[in-house]
């Protein structure tokens, strides 16, 4: 017995050490560890009127976001208590009933967050940040919920099936299985983004080819998305994995920004692909989902674990609460990979002035507070602040004089 306990303790210690090592590896970036950002005054880049307007604008959005999160947790808390009562309405069997409860829980969240989403859109329209109509927003909100319904249903199908095989150890296999499902979604996601077309500007298309080659991913697909129905500030994204990866530029970005600034955006998005940031994000999700799945297994044990549909409402609430608690860790990770993409873009374009101009203009259009409160950046900052991105451009210039 003592030998068995010793082996179990040794195995646990090895597993924990491997977990910590994997986490630290994912946390590393190519940004120089000794890089020191200068402390810049936002007043050098924005007028006092712009700074005051951004501060009041963002203050409302922070409160709205916090209230939306609280409403979500409250709705799911209520559902965790009342949810099992809906089981009598289902004759879909064990897994089917669990999936029904999962979709019902998402419906609770949908209605709880709807007024806060509408309030955010009203505020953006009132300040000229978005021109999206309310009907279009509600339709898009509904369609996004449809995608979430599909994912949650599939996740519950997998988890409850695993719980049918391993009543208490299902969580070990669930974490990698759910990440695999998310990877499958990421593989097809570029084909689900509407209104894409090739770059029409020949000079910009040539820039895209040159930048992709410079970052070691020649031939990467670049598309332009017609965003007339999306509203909001100009944007871009890197999407897909392996054969489906591509960079998507919003048409408003091309129309409203200088060519040198669009080059910086292209280099930034190519960096996400060349540095495998999407795969690193999935790795981070896998590491995060493993302890979450364990806690869910322990929390639902008194309801029969996730083998029983009655445990599903409580499981959803526990997951939402844990994701809220670990939000600073999630945003901290994404800030690091976004900072790395900025650094790679600087090394590729060698144009810190264009990066500074890009973020000055984006900050003005989005009414972003250049130097937000520390707690806001800690909790919600999934990108470096505007002033930190400008400071990185200045730091690169200092390290590379004459380039």
What is the three-class DSSP state of 187? helix
CB atoms within 10 A of CB 73: 16
User: What's the whole-number mean pLDDT along residues 362-373?
Assistant: 92
pLDDT more than 90, % of the chain: 50
C-alpha distance from residue 103 to each of 180, 209, 341 (Å): 21, 44, 36
In this prediction the pTM is 0.90
State pLDDT tens for residues 135-176. Answer: 888 888 887 777 777 778 888 888 888 888 887 788 888 888
pLDDT for residue 74 is more than 90: yes
Tokens 């590379």 belong to: 400
Average pLDDT, whole number, for the chain? 88
Q: How confident is the model at residue 193, as a pLDDT? A: 84
Instruction: Tell me the backbone φ, ψ of residue 223, rounded to 5 degrees.
Output: -130, 155
Contact 381, 285 (CB under 8 A): no
H or E element at residue 225: strand 221-225
221: helix, coil or strand?
strand
**How confident is the model at residue 5, as a pLDDT?**
67
Give the model confidence (pLDDT) of 249-258 as tens digits.
Answer: 999 999 889 9
**127 Cβ contact partners less than 8 Å away, ≥ 6 residues apart:** 53, 57, 367
Average pLDDT score over residue span 55-66: 94
Choose among 181, 189, 182, 179: nearest CA to 245.
189
Q: Is residue 385 within 8 Å of 371, Cβ to Cβ?
A: yes
pLDDT for residue 169: 82
pLDDT number for residue 64: 95
């Amino acid at each position: 017995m003592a030998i068995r306990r010793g082996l179990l303790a040794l195995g646990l210690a090895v597993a924990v050490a491997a977990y910590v090592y994997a986490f630290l590896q994912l946390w590393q970036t190519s940004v120089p560890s000794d890089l020191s950002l200068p402390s810049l005054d936002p007043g050098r880049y924005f007028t006092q009127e712009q700074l005051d307007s951004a501060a009041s604008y963002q203050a409302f959005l922070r409160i709205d976001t916090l209230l939306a999160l609280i409403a979500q947790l409250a709705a799911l808390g209520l559902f965790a208590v009342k949810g099992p009562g809906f089981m009598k309405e289902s004759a879909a069997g064990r897994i089917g009933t669990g999936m029904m409860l999962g979709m019902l829980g998402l419906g609770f969240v949908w209605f709880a967050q709807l007024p806060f989403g509408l309030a955010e859109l009203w505020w953006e329209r009132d300040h000229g940040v978005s021109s999206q109509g309310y009907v279009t927003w509600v339709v898009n909100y509904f369609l996004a919920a449809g995608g979430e319904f599909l994912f949650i249903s599939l996740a519950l199908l997998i988890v409850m099936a695993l719980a049918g095989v391993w009543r208490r150890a299902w969580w070990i296999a669930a974490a990698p299985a759910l990440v695999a499902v998310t990877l499958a979604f990421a593989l097809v996601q570029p084909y689900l983004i509407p209104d894409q077309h090739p770059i029409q500007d020949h000079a910009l298309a040539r820039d895209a080819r040159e930048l992709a080659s410079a970052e070691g991913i020649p031939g990467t697909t670049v598309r332009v998305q017609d965003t007339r129905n999306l509203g909001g500030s100009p944007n871009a994204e890197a999407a897909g994995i392996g054969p489906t990866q591509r960079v998507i530029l919003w048409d408003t970005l091309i129309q409203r920004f200088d060519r040198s600034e669009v080059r910086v955006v292209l280099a930034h998005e190519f960096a996400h692909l060349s540095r495998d940031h999407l795969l690193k994000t999935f790795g981070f999700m896998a590491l995060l989902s493993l302890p979450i799945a364990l806690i869910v297994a322990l929390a639902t044990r008194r309801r029969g674990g996730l083998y029983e549909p009655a445990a599903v409402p409580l499981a959803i609430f526990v997951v939402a609460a844990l994701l809220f608690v670990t939000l600073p860790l999630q945003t901290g990770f994404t800030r690091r990979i976004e900072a790395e993409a900025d650094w790679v873009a600087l090394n590729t374009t060698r144009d810190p002035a264009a990066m500074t101009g890009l973020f000055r203009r984006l900050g003005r259009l989005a009414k972003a507070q250049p130097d937000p409160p520390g707690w806001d950046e800690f909790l919600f900052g999934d990108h470096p602040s505007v002033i930190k991105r400008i400071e990185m451009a200045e730091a690169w210039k200092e390290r590379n004089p004459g380039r």
